[in-house]
Structures are given as C-alpha cells and as structure tokens.
Amino acid sequence: MVWPALSPDGQRVAVTSSESGNPDIWVHDLIRSTKTRLTFDAGPERTPAWSPSGDEIVYWLQGADGSSLLRKTADGTGEAVVLVEAKDFLPSPDWSRDGRYLAYSERNAQTGYDIRYFQFASDGTVSEPVTFLGTPAGESTSMLSPDGRFLAYVSNESGRTEVYVRPFPDGAGRWQASVEGGTQPRWSRDGRELYYVQTETLMSVSVSTGQGVTLGQPRPLFQSNGLRSANSPPTYDVSPDGQRFVTIASLGEIQPGASEQGEPEPPKIRIVLNWAEEFRDREQ
C-alpha cells in the first residue's frame, strides 16, 4: 500500500494497493472505515491525485505498450477517460486548485524525468502537453501551490536530490527549499508551508510569496520509516487543517515479528495526530 492522497475534505484517502493481486487504486473512507476498489485494469495503476472538487481521481496506468494518465469518478461509476499517453512512465499527477491545470512527470530516455503540464478547457477536453522543465538534470514530483502561482519539485541538478520552487507556469527563477537533501514535496492547504522528506524525517519550511518567494529554515516534524523512499511520489499527505498527516506504516512499525498465525501483518494506513508534541522538547 503506497502513495496516499487525501481528498480535499480530508475524509477519504486514495492509495495504490496490491491486495487484489495487481497494483490498483483503492479509496478508503476514514470516517466509516470502509474501502472501495476504484480501478480494475490489467496493468499497474499508481499515484492517485484528487480533483479540487473531490469528485474525480487522476492516476497513472502502466500498460504493456506505454503509460497513460486517466481520470475517473471517485465513486467508481462510469468509464475512465484517457488524458494523455506516453511511451514511458507518467508518475506524480497533481491537479491545480482551480481545476485548470494538471502537472505530472514524464520519463525521457535522453534527459531522465521532465515535468510537463496540460490545461483543461471548459468542456473538459485537454490541451497539448507543455514541457515546464526539461533539462539534462532529472526533475520530478511536481506539486502545484494552492494558489496555482508556484510549483514545487525535486531535481538532482546539484548532484543530489533537493526540493525547489519555481513560478508557474512561466518557470522564471527558482528557490531551493531543502538544505541537506529532500524528496516528496507537498504544500499545506493554505500554501504557507512546504513539506518534504529527508531520509525518514518529514520536514517543514515556511513559505511567504508576498514579494517573490521567501523560505524559512527547515524544521523536522516527525520520523517514520514508512516515509523512507528514494526520489518517488509522496508517501504521505497532510489534512486540510494541517493538524494530521497520513503515511504508510511499514511492517516493522506496525508489529515487530509475525501475527498469531505466523503470517506478516499487512500494510496499514497510519495517521499522525498531535505531531508537534513529539518535537516540543527538542525546541527548548
């Protein structure tokens, strides 16, 4: 179970799970403690992202002859609609808050990962994809700010993966948000904080966009080996009020050893509450 994405109201979480024997998208209702399988394609489906209304989910389907980004209603009704197709991987879709843009990563044989986006028309059709960043470095995991004016992403241009911020959609200028390496950026819902993962620690950076971009000193929030991943789509998400985080707990965190039947415990969703208390003593 990987790549959790909270719905805009914070009451549902979409994940990729292999419990059906294939990596599919499932939607978990955090209020009613129910889960629903959303996708049934033969190929793996990964990295779900919610529409601003919470009515649809975009995800990446890895097929036998290439990849696609598809949109489907979150209640599972109707057929999935193909938004864009490519020969290689298409991870990390992210929908702008106003519903106009969808940014994503695309693997390129010459340059590694690039960041692209397309625009939705009023009738629901999409424009031709536009390359936002396509340099010799690898750029991936693009996340649009709540006001749609900036895009956070990961790049290895310095020789290690760091999190950067650029204006969107013109891309002129950039600011480095992480300090000692970083992956998996996500914005707070009010746009005042940018989160990222440094090894097994979730970090937070304050953001001000009054005159350009001003970034604060990164500070740790909490640790979890469920966060540990190389440069990948986020393995966590943050609630709309910024008071809860959802991550994927590793088997070792859930229970060291095996269950009573001798079988390993299945992966579970982990919700971190009152995370600030964990670091209160360290700030004194």
What percentage of the chain carries pLDDT values higher than 70?
Answer: 86
Q: According to the model, what pLDDT value does residue 270 have?
A: 58
Specify the higher pLDDT residue, 43 or 248: 43
Q: According to the model, what pLDDT value does residue 139 have?
A: 95
Mean pLDDT score of the chain = 88
Query: What residues contact 240, with CB distance under 8 A and at least 6 apart?
Result: 6, 8, 9, 10, 189
Neighbours of 199 (CB within 10 A): 13
Q: According to the model, what pLDDT value does residue 259 have?
A: 37
Q: Which two tokens stand for residue 251?
A: 């088997």
Q: Where would I find the H helices in 225-276?
A: 251-254
CB 86 within 8 A of CB 66: yes
CA neighbor of 38 nearest in space, from 10, 7, 65, 9: 7
* CATH tag, 2-283: 2.120.10.30
Residue 32 has pLDDT above 60, yes or no: yes
Q: Give the 3-state secondary structure of residue 276.
A: helix
CB 148 within 8 A of CB 100: yes
**Which residue spans within 56-148 are E strands per DSSP?**
56-62, 67-73, 81-86, 94-95, 101-108, 112-119, 130-133, 139-144
In Å, the largest CA–CA distance within the chain is: 60
Could you tell me the pTM of the whole model?
0.86
Q: According to the model, what pLDDT value does residue 96 have?
A: 97
